[in-house]
Chain A
Amino acid sequence: MNDLSRRRFLKISGTAVGVAAAATPLARTARTLAGEPAPVSGIQKIPTFCDICFWKCGAIAYVKDGKLWKVEGNPLDPLSRGRLCPRGTGGVGAHTDPDRLRAPLMRKNKRGEEVWTQVTWDEALGFIAEKMQKIKAAYGPEAVALFSHGLGGNFLKHTLKAYGSPNIAAPSYAQCRGPRDAGFRLTFGEDVSSPERTDIRNAQCLVLIGSHLGENMHNTQVQEFAEAVENHASIIVVDPRFSIAAGKAKYYLPIKPGTDLALILAWMNVLVREGLYDKEYVAAHGFGFEQFAATITPYTPEWAYPETGIDPGTIRVTAREMGRYRPSTLVHPGRHVTWYGDDTQRSRAIALLNALLGSWGRKGGFYAPVTMDVPGYPYPPYPTPAKPKVDNPDHRYPFAHETITTGIREATTTGKPYPVKGWLVYATNLLHALPNEAETIKAIQNLDLLVVVDVIPSEIAGWADVVLPESVYLERHDDLNVEWFREPFVALRQPVVESPHDQKPNWWIARKLAEHLGLGQFYPWNTIEDYLQHRLNAAGLSYEELKKAGIIRGTPQPIYFDEGVPATFSTPSGKIEFYSLQLHKAGFDPVPKYRRPEAGPSGYLRLLYGRAPVHSFSRTHSNRILSDMMPENEVWLNPIIAGKFDVRNGAYVRLKNQDGVVSNRVRVLVTERIRPDCVYMVHGFGHTSRGLRHAFGKGASDAQLITRYATDPLMGGTAMNVNFVTIETQGA
């Protein structure tokens, strides 16, 4: 293999750098809400909102004798309702993480070799600005792209737009929820939103397809899931793995991976044929129902059985169960749905199934989210980019409504439709997020500038030219969280303790970069608190009140059609599109059609991955509290497979994928809880960045094994459940 695939060990740590770190490792004195140094003794409670994942639960941080003690939920917060998930509860570990990035670093030698010089912020930002100006002069500002995840990217997005680039992307689109939102837009004219607009707690029948709530720890959803369980909701789980949710299901369907669309079509077939769908709702709001019904006529349970492995009796029983509880039957659209390449159409099928059940806009189904009216800051207008976005030339993915990260990557490698020469990366570990690491590394070689802003020395940071250390959420202000949710509210993030070293908040970094770029006029406010105060005042809200409470809630609004929400759909027909003319015109199936997934090589097992409730992406593994909960991941093997490969529970093996990539050693969990044709691992382990001293080499990386992906033809999403592995016992 060539240079790019050789593992380069990355050692970003304070000790690898020539200059000694000046600051003490622990937090200095906390500040009171008024900004003065706090008294050293006693307990202070400071509200903020969490950043370990993107849910942004309202939290209250406790500082005891000047030291960060614990974090609890903010009872005022509608998202967490006073209780944080395990990651939020372990948030203290993000602040005290000894492996955190400490100061700005600039690479000395070749990319990825990870030999750094510690520099000042001025030096780092000056270098970045100079490079960006050079790129602008030679290629245009569109040649710099920003990959960003989370609310903390807002100010960097602002700076980049001021600079003149339209190329801003989040991996959460093409690598995660994108197909789902595209499928729902094609059907209902709106996406599922984040947090998902799922009325789980009122659902009388809840269908989870691959969604593993309870292991997937979206706080509000798990809380509502528990409520649904308590209310004896009928739970149907479809998953190749017997997840925690499956353990609470009335019906568990152990589906063959890749065949979910066949099952959904068969369900719809039963509902239509047996008249169990919401006829009034469909008549009132549906478009193209007759053609749709005609198209799905062949998709009987008997047809679906050999594809899915689910017997026809079960398909009928579960369809009837769904029909029985309509419209309070929620077929959950999932979140990370980039699975097999048919993901938009499969998500559209889920949308259609919900439409048949009449759950969209109804209690127990999908509510219409509302938000607080908090105006944005009145900035000067952004320059209009001369070129269109680079990610989707000629709209080859016609239904992509957000920027495709992997499209930017491709343009960076090929130089078409135009060159991309600079990447700014904020809070996303692209090497674990994007499929096929080799392609990412290849693209990076074409860059004139790679800047990574992160809190820990992630793998992507190891390849950067400049690494900028951000303060963790407990140490900084951030943009306001004005959520779209069941009820309107606004939340404040404010510092609880000081950053231990030379880390800076994202708004400071973005602003300083703008100043270095000569774009200071785009930051007319003086301090971040001025910015926050301005926006809140414009909304008629008190910053002082928000500082004390952390959350200000608005008046509850109607969220269901029954409560007065207008039943309008932003589709071409203005109705729920059971038959999509626009899909038809674009050359796609107007009603989803099933295609059998490609099998893997003989003797190989499909690689499936998922979430653990104590970890978030690949970013929590050096958090000492959370890594103590789960220090490494395991590969789940069915006992038949374990027998075939002669491995015992607890043994270490390596996984080799269809392209010969071999993983780090990983512990085996022999369990009945998974089909014999696939294996399962929790995502985010197997770190190779040496700066992550604690996380290094623990478990195996699914991302490393995901060398193949299937691109969704409608919106460019990258399906990743299309890799197959075999078990290697030697050398493990």
Chain B
Amino acid sequence: MEEIVSTRHNPMIDPSLHIWGWEIPVYLFLGGLVAGMMIISGYFLFRGRHKEMDCSCLRLPFAAIFLLSAGMLALFVDLEHRWSFWRMYTTFQIASPMSWGSWILLLVYPALVANMLVRMPSWLLKVAPRLKNLSDRLYVQPGAVRFIGIANITLGVMLGVYTGILLSAFGARPLWNSTILGLLFLLSGLSTAAALVHMVSKNSEESALLARADNGFLTGELFLIVLFLIGLLSSTEAHIRSAGLLLNGPYAPVFWVFVIGTGILVPLFVQSLAVTHRIKHTPVAPILVIAGGLVLRFVIVGAGQTSHWTR
């Protein structure tokens, strides 16, 4: 029997790491959701379909700004020395995904604002009538619109992937130590954004299209989770142990039921039936997808802090 007793009892560190509570999973979820929104919205801009895609291109950009700001507020609240947060913007640390992220977030705002300008919501036009001119000009410039679309897609991808790379760059937490996390969070973000659009869009074509897209994203997500687990299980002892946290350890019930089960498999099944017209479209599926995305972040952030190298 091996016994390891340590005299250390530092707050947030011992008996096991718990530095990040709800703020970071919420931020990662919102970041992923916004990334998905930017990609979906940007795609339609790129394809010139911004005129008919009311949800994606009219409501989404503003919602994205709001949701991203909420996410950044969560980040700010998480900081322990928060009034020094501006220090992040005095430097660019190329090896620090957090540094990348803080600058990406800065660039995301203008991209979203530009996106919002292409089709401005009417209530906003009432508030800022001078922008109507700019908006009208943009609306009819396919080149500019395509460019804004590409910018949104690019920054959306970067935002989505970075939320995963942020965690995967921490080699000290074996559970997170897979670059697939970047793609997984991107795909999860796309899936939650697609589900949201599918649920709230009043344009039936847009809604159906996004439902089919969501099914694709959910399938991709499932596939990436499998790859993620295979990667851990075929790696070192610390990685194998960390995979166990999700598969049959303390996080297993939540992982299997709310991430895999109700987060992916059930909505995938329901939405597959819906897009093949065997059942009517229902908001239950996208709600489960969105909830599943949130739970995924909580599980990964929570279990990751539990996973460690030292026994």
Contacts and interface: CB of A to CB of B under 8 A. Distances in A.
Contacts of A122: none
Interface in B265-299: none
A373 interface: no
Q: Decide if the interface of chain A is mainly helix, strand, loop or mixed.
A: loop
Nearest to A614: B7
B80 interface: no
A600 B115 CA distance: 83
A630 B6 CA distance: 11
A673 B1 CA distance: 10
Contacts, number: 8
A487 B291 CA distance: 76
B7 A672 contact: no
Nearest to A650: B15
B3 A629 contact: no
A629 B6 CA distance: 11
A629 B7 CA distance: 7
A514 to B, nearest CB: 46
A617 to B, nearest CB: 21
Interface string A425-452: 0000000000000000000000000000
A669 B7 CA distance: 13
Contacts of A630: 7
A210 interface: no
Nearest to A673: B3
Contacts of B1: 639, 672
Contacts of B7: 629-630
Nearest to A672: B1
B2 to A, nearest CB: 9
Contacts of A671: 3
Nearest to B2: A672
A241 to B, nearest CB: 14
Interface in B1-55: 1, 3, 5, 7
Contacts of B3: 671-673
Interface in A598-638: 629-630
Interface residues of A, number: 7
Interface in B47-65: none
A214 to B, nearest CB: 14
A217 to B, nearest CB: 15
Contacts of A639: 1
B4 to A, nearest CB: 11
A636 to B, nearest CB: 11
B16 to A, nearest CB: 13
> For the side of the interface on B, what is the size category?
under 10
A215 to B, nearest CB: 13
Contacts of A669: 5
Nearest to A631: B9
A671 B5 CA distance: 10
B253 to A, nearest CB: 21
A639 B7 CA distance: 21
Contacts of A672: 1, 3
Contacts of B5: 669
Contacts of A673: 3
A37 to B, nearest CB: 39
A672 B4 CA distance: 12
Interface string A338-377: 0000000000000000000000000000000000000000
A672 B1 CA distance: 8
Interface string A670-681: 011100000000
Interface in A659-677: 669, 671-673
Nearest to B7: A629
A673 B5 CA distance: 12
A630 B9 CA distance: 10
Interface string B150-191: 000000000000000000000000000000000000000000
Nearest to A669: B5
Contacts of A629: 7
A629 B8 CA distance: 9
B309 to A, nearest CB: 21
A669 B3 CA distance: 10
A262 B1 CA distance: 31
A261 B5 CA distance: 33
A430 to B, nearest CB: 31
B15 to A, nearest CB: 9
Nearest to A670: B3
Nearest to A629: B7
A557 B153 CA distance: 88
A93 B276 CA distance: 74
Interface in A520-562: none
Interface string A118-132: 000000000000000
A350 to B, nearest CB: 31
A344 B167 CA distance: 65
A694 to B, nearest CB: 15
A671 B3 CA distance: 7
Interface string B173-211: 000000000000000000000000000000000000000
A639 B3 CA distance: 12
B281 to A, nearest CB: 51
Interface in A300-321: none
A44 to B, nearest CB: 32
A669 to B, nearest CB: 8
A639 B1 CA distance: 10
A702 B3 CA distance: 25
Interface string A222-251: 000000000000000000000000000000
A673 B3 CA distance: 10
Interface in A431-484: none
A630 B8 CA distance: 10
Interface in B91-148: none
Which of B1, B3, B7 has the most chain A CB within a 10 Å cutoff? B3
A672 B5 CA distance: 13
Nearest to B15: A650
B9 to A, nearest CB: 8
B153 to A, nearest CB: 51
A551 to B, nearest CB: 32
A620 to B, nearest CB: 16
Interface in A668-726: 669, 671-673
Nearest to A634: B5
A207 B3 CA distance: 26
B5 to A, nearest CB: 8
6 contacts: A629-B7, A630-B7, A669-B5, A671-B3, A672-B3, A673-B3
Interface of B: 1, 3, 5, 7
Interface of A: 629-630, 639, 669, 671-673
Given A630-B7, A669-B5, 6 more contacts: A629-B7, A639-B1, A671-B3, A672-B1, A672-B3, A673-B3
The 8 closest A-B pairs by CB, nearest first: A672-B1, A671-B3, A639-B1, A672-B3, A629-B7, A673-B3, A669-B5, A630-B7
